Chains A and B, each alone.
Chain A
């Protein structure tokens, strides 16, 4: 290993940690009423507040499905028709900016900050 290698490794690790820390700080500050927003093929399908337990079956255009469970303030995909199960193995998400992705079904579940301006916000 050369000195340049060590510099490269240290710079990459420091940059990644700095960006990661920045994101965490930023999302912690703005985190109010987070909700899980479902996108299929880039199109918004609906949103579910994290403070309300729910279980939703999301049907994709290709005939596949994913089951999204919202429990105790976290969103998790518990079942999916796709072969690789990457979305099912993903840990539950709860912080704004985090997302669950199922590539075969072109599904993204993203945690966003809910707010009054949100048209698709839930009304009680």
Chain B
């Protein structure tokens, strides 16, 4: 017997050899995970990623080399691992967005026995979670920040899904702190990136009104509000100068934001009663030395000194160089705007230098380019070893699923009860903590509100909308239903039967990959969400619907849980408050009101 067969057990070994799994994300965790999957002998492995390789990936994503920069991550990993594909696993890389329903229709997803998430963003995670719910396939979720990492096996409708626990949104700061009274490096970095850089080089929407309203909600200081609005208007002027090559754009900008604006701020005395007064830069005094620095070719090396703190002059130098470079890119017409990207040297240099100069003005310690890159990129540095540890657990935790013969869809046998979520927690007496999986949350916006399944519709022999309504009612036991296509398009209810005689294929928007929601008019049974798949058969998924948890009970539960929030952002449309109605409005009402 081969050793791998011995460790895994002969039956499990065979199942793993003959199965097909999906890995979403081929970055830090993905590289490690793919190595583990291959060396455990998984028969077929598909890897999907939409990113290309950047320089900053190389020090922790061990499958990538210098020569791979700008190449597709997914296509590169599947090639790189051939070096040690000792088990002859079949590998397929897909360069693309996992949320692309044309490239990755639900039938494609259905070929996999397990889905492994190695993603770094919430939106894609939510989408993959939803696919797992539709298909009732096990999903292994993972994430790391710094020394912290976690894995969570998800068995749809049996254990907690990705959305059962509300996710923390990134911290925001009051506008006034950012714009008038910063006291920490993060305030200056946020100002440089979100405000200044955005105003000058990013795509702009007109938000003057919003701005005033937000400011008014934060401060009563008229003088401060007017001053901040004036600053913004003047910046808009400067933005126009970006398009004029040869203009004194850089000099004027620096003069305005680090001298004129600050002098004005100093004059608003109400701001400085308990704070240290900022000190405007005296550019005239610095001009001579700055010119010398600008003329010296060797000054270029400052730009790559990313682990030492730049001096005031060095920051000015970097800012001017970044401004010139950005102006060139935009005025040449190559790019209409340059959104901030931590991996774009010009935009990063701009933000680092501007944030540091502002720090100097407000008596805050400046930071190194390396540090600001981490902060501005909202990243706690990913640590290769954490990824390695977590990827080991990802594969280990998937193994029990292959202990048993495949069962019917959605039936995971005893595996969910014996599986655990694992997270690193480094203590003197342990390194990780494992916890049993929880039941799905009754308040979960993804898995508690509706049952899910795939609705197969034959392109040759499609039913009329009326027929479809009758089939659905009969199959699942609804008395009356409403059908909503996509986010909010009502296509049928008892009072709206205009389409019943038409084939569903003639209903605009009834296409593969679109979602169709079924709502119970009597509010007894839970909602049903179908993923529409046009093909060569008519078929409805086998599902048993749960009784609806009434809104009132939910509110009660919510209060007990201490969140006090209804539905926790369950549906996109905002809740409509209607004093006339005694019952809380149903979801359908909400959607209908929006359509009207």
The answer to whether A and B interact is no
B interface residue numbers (CB < 8 A to A): none
A interface residue numbers (CB < 8 A to B): none
